């Protein structure tokens, strides 16, 4: 009985849906987290009677036919690259991107990763780094005698030195964009890697047309809408229950057949 397999694929699909939703809810307070959405496709169909086939020797054809579906499968889990709200902080090195773009991060193995989490800090050498000590490219070092640091919208890092009138420019942050942001590979730690699906990174100064600007003393909140996620969770739960009901009903129908004498 096909409905047993069909109901099972439906339950597996909704299980995946709940897992995606639960991850969104778990990361509702994760800086710059982008929510995910599960997408599904129907499976292959069995043609019991093919539409358009001849139904008689006089040239008549079957107008619709009989196609039986075999269930559903997970097609993709999309990342929704929607701007999260900006939260003001008192931290000098909290930087948010307003608009498109990613900060570039150098991993210990030399690879370049990308992130929108701009809650940066300084290592013992005064280098701007992430929570895990990974260098923020292009590798900016703040002098130990600095009395103030300003990062403008264009990503220029200006340092006030005691006794100097003019601020000192110690470097400039650049942003990377991608033709297909959904194609980036999530690595955890709020980091992404470039893939063949995302396309090569395009790097430019913040504020360039098509690129966002940098906001100092701000961090980007996650774009998770808790009310929407709870609604989707309830809907997924109901769908899971209905698919389990399909399996139970099919089993009862098979039991009826087995009891025939």
The pLDDT tens digits of the residues spanning 59-117 come to 788 787 787 888 999 999 989 989 999 999 989 999 999 999 999 999 999 999 999 99
Quick one: how far is CA 208 from the chain centroid?
24
Q: How confident is the model at residue 37 (pLDDT cuts 50, 70, 90)?
A: very high
| Nearest Cα to Cα of residue 35 among 232, 229, 234 | 229
**pTM for the structure as a whole:** 0.84
List strand residue ranges (DSSP E) for the chain, in order: 36-42, 45-49, 66-69, 72-79, 86-88, 95-98, 103-106, 112-115, 121-122, 128-129, 135-136, 146-151, 156-161, 168-172, 175-177, 185-188, 191-193, 202-204, 213-216, 218-220
pLDDT at 145: 84
Instruction: Round to whole Å and give the CA distance between 19 and 102.
Output: 26
């Amino acid at each position: 009985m096909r409905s047993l397999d069909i109901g099972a694929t439906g339950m597996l699909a909704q299980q995946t849906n709940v897992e995606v939703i639960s991850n969104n809810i778990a990361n509702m307070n994760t800086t710059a987290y982008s929510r995910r959405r599960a997408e599904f496709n129907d499976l292959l169909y069995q043609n019991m009677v093919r539409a358009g086939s001849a139904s008689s020797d006089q040239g008549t054809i079957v107008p619709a036919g009989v196609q039986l579906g075999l269930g559903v499968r997970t097609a993709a889990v999309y990342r929704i690259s929607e701007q999260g709200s900006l939260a003001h902080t008192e931290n000098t090195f909290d930087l948010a991107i307003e608009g498109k773009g990613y900060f570039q991060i150098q991993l210990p193995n030399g690879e370049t990763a990308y992130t929108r989490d701009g809650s940066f800090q300084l290592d013992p050498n005064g280098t701007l780094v992430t929570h895990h000590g990974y260098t923020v490219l292009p590798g900016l070092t703040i002098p130990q005698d600095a009395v103030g640091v300003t990062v403008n919208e264009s990503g220029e890092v200006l340092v006030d030195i005691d006794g100097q009138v003019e601020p000192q420019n110690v470097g400039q942050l650049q942003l990377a964009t991608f033709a297909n942001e959904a194609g980036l590979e999530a690595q955890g730690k709020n980091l992404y890697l470039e893939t063949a699906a995302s396309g090569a990174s395009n790097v430019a100064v913040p504020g360039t047309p098509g690129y966002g600007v940098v906001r100092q003393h701000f961090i980007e909140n996650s774009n998770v809408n808790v009310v929407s996620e709870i609604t989707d969770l309830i809907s997924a739960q109901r769908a899971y229950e209905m698919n389990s009901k399909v399996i139970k009903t099919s089993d009862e129908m098979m039991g009826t057949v087995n009891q025939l004498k």
